[in-house]
Structure 1
Amino acid sequence: MTTQPNPRRTSTYPILETAREQVLAKGEGLSEAQLLEILELPDEAIPEALQLAHEVRLEHCGEDVEVEGIISIKTGGCPEDCHFCSQSGLFDSPVRGVWLDIPELVKAAKETAATGATEFCIVAAVRGPDIKLMNQIKFAIDRINAEVDINIACSLGMLTQRQVDQLAEWGVHRYNHNLETARSYFPEVVTTHTYEERLDTCNMVKAAGMELCCGALIGMGETTAQRAELASQLAALEPHEVPLNFLNPRPGTPLENQGIMDGKDALRAIAAFRLAMPRTVLRYAGGRELTLGDLGTREGLMGGINAVIVGNYLTTLGRPADADLNLLVELNMPIKELQKSL
């Protein structure tokens, strides 16, 4: 069985005692100021913070772990200048524009479903979809639904209201559009669009009835206070899911020399994001292999994470799917079963 919440105890760290009362007992996420205290805990407090985050996850989300696979229908050549992304056509990176055809997408969806995953996300490196891409997405959704029993998610950049309505009508289960970083740091990372433009798409997605997947990329040079700001801003948005990414510096991008985030800071962040959003699906995403390694991946799963992307990411290699699936078995963490709306 998965570890159950521990009996009531008193922490030597006041913020963890507060979090136990506020988040675990009442289900109320920590404030920005409180999150900063979590992110500034000393190294010796990390195990206790992760244990508390795990208890919060079990109490408010249950023990199931959601598994997802992702595939890029259009890779590279993006007109935006997100400084972390090798898919930008504005940088001298080795990624070049590639399109997948529909049979390849269907094949990838079948392979994803075979791992036990319940989510299959179709991603395109674009500012927003044009008519051609929307038509391809519609065709892909129809073909996948005809051959594979899996929920379909999309990540196609910024949307118009009409596009949001179309995706909802076509049965897209979840839409991914990350805030990436705190509002105060956003102009240091992206200059070709604004934080508010991203937020507009997120709000339209929620209003249309799709689940919102809205994530974070940490380790880009932001301050600890800005990490707390980001967690608080995501909590205010109330997304269904938050993918937690750690910067994997890519050659040719403005952040290629940023360096790898310290693993202990990453574990603090995992605990903080769970304590900010006790009921949200918190998903391991890109960069965890580099930042945390195998041991850290295990600690995160026992520290508040309750979803994983299996296999490779969009432009970087992930852990083998079997490695993550075997780890879930070892930790006695059941994989969430498919639940599709009728």
Structure 2
Amino acid sequence: MDNILTTARAQVLDEGRGLDYDDLIRILNLPDESIPDLLALAHEVRVRWCGEEIEMEGIVSLKTGGCPEDCHFCSQSGLFDSPVRSTKLDIAQLIEQARQTAKTGATEFCIVAAVKGPDERLMIQLEQAVQEIYANVEGIDVAVSVGILTQDQVDRLKAVGVHRYNHNLETARSYFPKVVTTHSWEDRRETMMLIKDAGIEVCCGGIIGMGESLEQRAEFAVQLADLDPHEVPLNFLDPRPGTPFSDMPVMDGKDALRAVGMFRLAMPATTLRFAGGRELTLGDLGVEQGLTGGINGVIVGNYLTTLGRPAEQDMDMVGRLNLPIKVLSRSV
């Protein structure tokens, strides 16, 4: 019997040190009958090093579709024959979306644009949007996700009060060329280092179930842990029509739960957030197992190009599990 859970209890739960690559591989190879014990330990780790609260977040797209990049999982790429078409929201719509997000109990509102990086017009629109949301909506922190940034752009987002910036590494460095060819894994990491150095919270995760090996899944967790992110959005591939990954199988639910436990044991003090694909991969029961097995954040409502669950259902589920929802502590 593999004693990796005993090792993890001593190192991660007691000392707060994440597991290394070799131990994460052992976690991913645990037999099915060990999954409940893994999730129970991951939950203990989460409560000890993050607290009991669940952080809820809503997202809205400032620009959907028409992206020039070729991320093989993404229906927003303008290079694929995808049903997603380019659309834009105006500032008034963003304010209303933020207001509705706050009403669900979420404390984070993320503005996303499908671009490689922002041009000057988009930067001006972002600056205005962030300032207007803070002026008109109480109880919300604003996060942004608009791709690869320059130092000047990072400084400007910091100046208007952007709380957190999301730019995912997406997958392990060794697997990235199988997923994206129009920019590099290093390009993504460099942006997140600029964000970290500016004192903006780092939100950096990715998608699992894109054909990567277990070894690459563990490699990805180690590379994320090296960034020491505040938050890791954990997506599961939802194969999108018209994309190169459209025919990939949906990830097995048990493998997804093993991955949830593995990411928590790699990053004991990080907000690990359920994001896209959780409904398809795990179903309601699996999502509940994740929330009592290491997850401490949830995106509520719909995602960028796929439907999620109604926010009220997620709020009811969190309440049914007796998990407290994080309340925003700073004034806006």
Alignment of 1:1-342 (within 5 A): 13-149=2-138, 150-340=140-330
Separation in 2, partners of 1:317, 1:339 = 30
Note the alpha carbon deviations across 1:76-133, whole angstroms, 9 max, x for none: 0000000000000000000011010111100000000001111000000000000000
Normalised by the size of structure 1, how large is the TM-score?
Answer: 0.96
Per-residue deviation at 1:143?
A: 1.2
What amino acid does structure 2 have at the position aligned with 1:202? M
Classify the secondary structure of the residue corresponding to 2:34.
helix
Cα separation, 1, equivalents of 2:118 and 2:155: 13
Q: Which shows bigger deviation, 285-294 or 322-331? A: 322-331
Alignment deviations for residues 262-288 of structure 1 (CA, whole Å, 9 cap, x no partner):
000000000000000000000000000
The TM-score with structure 2 as length reference comes to 0.99
Amino acid at match of 2:330: K
Shift of the alpha carbon at 1:341? 6.4
SS in 1 for 2:155: helix
Q: Is the partner of 1:80 in helix, strand or coil? A: coil
Q: Which runs of 5+ in 2 are unaligned?
A: none
Call closer, same or farther: CA 1:174–1:341 in 2, change over 3 Å. Answer: farther
Segments of 4+ moved more than 4 angstroms: none
What do residues 180-207 of structure 1 show as CA deviations (whole Å, max 9, x unaligned)? 1000000000000000000000000000
How far off is 1:144 after superposition? 0.7
CA distance in structure 2 between the partners assigned to 1:315 and 1:286 by the alignment: 9
Q: Distance in 2 between matches of 1:161 and 1:83?
A: 28
What is the letter of the counterpart of residue 252 of structure 2?
D
Distance 1:87 1:183, change over 3 A: same
Q: Helix, strand or coil: the match of 2:118?
A: coil
In angstroms, what is the RMSD of aligned CA positions?
Answer: 0.8
In 2, Cα distance between equivalents of 1:137 and 1:95:
22
> How far did residue 138 of structure 1 move?
0.9
Distance 1:236 1:32 in 2: 12
Name the CA distance, whole Å, in 1 between partners of 2:164 and 2:255.
Answer: 29
1:137-170 Cα shifts (integer Å, max 9, x gaps) = 0111111111102100000000000000100111
> Equivalent residue for 1:8?
none
Structure 1 residue runs of 5 or longer lacking an equivalent are 1-11
Query: Whole-Å Cα distance in 2 between the matches of residues 252 and 240 of structure 1?
Result: 33
Q: Distance in 2 between matches of 1:87 and 1:62?
A: 36
Shift of 1:319: 1.0
1:339 positional shift: 2.0
- Structure 1 residues 341 and 214 mapped into 2: Cα distance closer, same or farther (>3 Å)? farther
Question: Which deviates further from its counterpart, 244-253 or 318-327?
Answer: 318-327
Once residues 154 and 217 of structure 2 are traced to their aligned partners in structure 1, the CA distance between those partners, rounded to angstroms, is 29
2:196 is paired with a residue whose SS is helix
For residues 341 and 192 of structure 1, what CA distance do their matches in structure 2 show?
41
Aligned match of 1:6? none
Residue matched to 1:3: none
**Structure 2 residue identity aligned to 1:60:** W
* Cα distance between partner residues in 2 of 1:339 and 1:156: 26
